[in-house]
Structure 1
Amino acid sequence: MREAIVNFPKQFKYEPKVENAVGHLVKFERFALMGMGGSALIGDLIKKLDPDLDIVVHKGYGLPRGVDLNGRLLIFVSYSGNTEETLDAFDYALKAGHHLAVVGTGGKLLDKAKKIGILYVELPNTDVQPRVSLGFQIRAVLTLMQQSGLYKEVGKLATVNFKGLEKEGEKLAKGIAGKIPLIYASGDNGTIAYNWKIKFNETGKIPAFWSVLPEANHNEINGFGGTEKKLSNFVCLFIKDDRDHSRVKKRMTVLGAVYKELGLSVKTIPLKGKSEAQKLFGSLILGDWTAYYTAKVYGNEANEVPLVKKFKKLIG
């Protein structure tokens, strides 16, 4: 896992090759991305980088209800190519006659794409976990979407020096050891908070939860009003962005003060970078390092996801 995180920025050098492009790779203005876990996160990251893009993200079986999929390019992303929900969604979309494209390293999904003759990008199989292959995946999806501007922007990340984030993540992991993280961000940065939660779960092997402001001030805050004896078990991580609304910034400050008064630990994680892409992926890499060293603190293996594998076997 450590090597995968160290080498992660190199993924932004990846030049995807679109197969079956002739006659199929046309310009779309509307998109839908189907996937689960880290693969679905790609759609959320793209929406974060360009909020004006018309892209629907679907995480589940079948097709999204209440959404007009006609005229959209439906991109199915599964790193393994064997994600049950994504395969199910693909079959529904194929029967409906939608425009389809596939991204993955192999598996049943890629086999279907090759057999049918639709657009697909075969990702390099570097034996890393899907959650640390986001660079490969976002480059592939942006290529299919023909979003050259965003493609170039994320490509610049290959030359950014993220080395200092390892020590920062190690320090943070040691500072929150023994506590359950509650990750908060503005609504605009909810994707980042969610990613941190995923990394704590999959890499750190600990429970973690996330929410966004101002919404959490209208409900979640009350959950800490009658359980003071247990609040020392939690640590609140505020992801702060200079571009957040001024009232959201104040809400974070006040909420942090309220939580401290109740006995929670509170820490802030500022987004840093010269561009939105740098701030976004810099924070994700910091999350990777924090989760990696969290696993070390607890003596957990950071790479594999045994409970996910066990669950998949149990459901058949």
Structure 2
Amino acid sequence: MDDKMLIDESDMKSILEKFPDMIKESLNLAGDLAVDRDKKSVCVTGMGGSAFSGDLLKAYLEEIEIPIFVNKTYTLPKHIDRNSLVFAVSYSGNTEETISSYRNAIKKGIKPIAISSGGKLRKLSEINENPFIKIPEGYPPRLSTPFLFFPMLSVLENSGIIKSRDNAINMTIDSIRSADYKERAKIIAQRMKDKIPIIYSSMKNFCVAEKWKTDINENAKAMAFYNMFPEFNHNEICAYTNIVGDYFVLIIKDEKDHERVKKRIKIIKELIKKRGIHVMEIAIRGEHYLSRLLSPLYLGLWVSYFLALEYETDPTPVKIIEDLKKELS
């Protein structure tokens, strides 16, 4: 065994290896739960890895007619009302912001669907006789994306709001199983070590860049940033004039990106490289958008894992977050 693997005392590696199986398991968690199909909007309220499932849903279902909003604070937006489908997502079920927004939803006359492994959210659901989707316990929230995301997709399918995605899901599982992510991730992590990662993607794939960033933060316990084409071309690009850090720029490039975005990526890559900054591209390909989202997301998880090992850091504990919670209680 590689000595670095001994750093992973909580065995995150085993969870990462189960990711395709977690997707399959998650498909049955919502059962036949459905809502009225005439909802005017969808709102996912949550924080951290739980809220990310909402960002992923918003990106994946960009083409549906009703808007999807992701709420990451204590109260719901004023426009969210009884005509909205609200998912309250908290892996632990005890996230204070999500509990608060859940109660806010009840005051608005909404019957939110809670998704968690238990906790206060389950108790609130039982007291108020609202739908509750129980997900497996024992996982870090940031590794639980399948359990948090696919039940929402199932409810939307059951309700007739979206069409079945079974084919896309099955092909995504096969795609993730067939590729070797680990070796590629090790190489990226080694090149990224001792640098400040900056992740760029198109707006279409913002959630992938976001997840790379937050997984590096939580697993490697290192700083990282992300932004999107074309927006950062109108502001952040100027920061490459006075370079005050050792950056590692990673660009996530999708074959389905807008043609002008593709041109911008090509130009920006050269402009940044001329300033002595290492730039790497990750190419996204595939027939189904779901696969083009989850495959690079999964690669990013492995990169953050191996980067943690490079820093001789156990990727699972998030002590500083727990310290903050203690101070807040």
Residue by residue over 1:167-192, the C-alpha shift from the partner in whole angstroms, topping out at 9 and shown as x without a partner, is: 11111101111101000111111111
The two structures have a TM-score, normalised by structure 1, of 0.92
In the alignment, does 2:142 pair up with 1:131? yes
For 1:210 and 1:85, the matched residues in 2 are separated by: 24
For 1:310 and 1:184, the matched residues in 2 are separated by: 31
In the alignment, does 2:57 pair up with 1:46? yes
Any idea what SS the aligned residue of 1:244 has?
Answer: coil
Q: Which runs of 5 or more structure 2 residues have no equivalent in the other structure?
A: 1-11
Question: Which range is displaced more, 90-99 or 290-299?
Answer: 90-99
Any idea what SS the aligned residue of 1:178 has?
Answer: coil
For 2:178 and 2:293, the matched residues in 1 are separated by: 12
User: Counterpart amino acid of 1:70?
Assistant: R
- Aligned residue for 1:307? 320
Alpha-carbon shift at residue 158 of structure 1 (Å): 3.3
The two structures have a TM-score, normalised by structure 2, of 0.89
- Aligned residue for 1:181? 197
Any idea what SS the aligned residue of 1:27 has?
Answer: coil
User: Counterpart amino acid of 2:206?
Assistant: G
- Cα gap change, 1:241/1:178 in structure 2, threshold over 3 Å: closer, same or farther? same
- Aligned residue for 1:259? 272
For 1:9 and 1:204, the matched residues in 2 are separated by: 23
Answer yes or no: is the 8 Å Cα contact 2:74–2:101 preserved in 1: yes
1:159-308 to 2 correspondences below 5 Å: 159-160=174-175, 161-227=177-243, 230-231=244-245, 233-308=246-321
1:16-165 to 2 correspondences below 5 Å: 16-18=28-30, 25-29=35-39, 30-53=41-64, 54-65=67-78, 67-125=79-137, 127-145=138-156, 146=158, 147=162, 149-150=164-165, 153-160=168-175, 161-165=177-181
Identity of matched residues, %: 30
User: Counterpart amino acid of 1:224?
Assistant: Y
Answer yes or no: is the 8 Å Cα contact 1:33–1:56 preserved in 2: yes
- Cα gap change, 1:115/1:155 in structure 2, threshold over 3 Å: closer, same or farther? farther
Alpha-carbon shift at residue 148 of structure 1 (Å): 5.0
For 1:94 and 1:2, the matched residues in 2 are separated by: 39
For 1:13 and 1:190, the matched residues in 2 are separated by: 25
Alpha-carbon shift at residue 276 of structure 1 (Å): 1.1
Answer yes or no: is the 8 Å Cα contact 1:200–1:207 preserved in 2: yes
Alpha-carbon shift at residue 238 of structure 1 (Å): 0.5
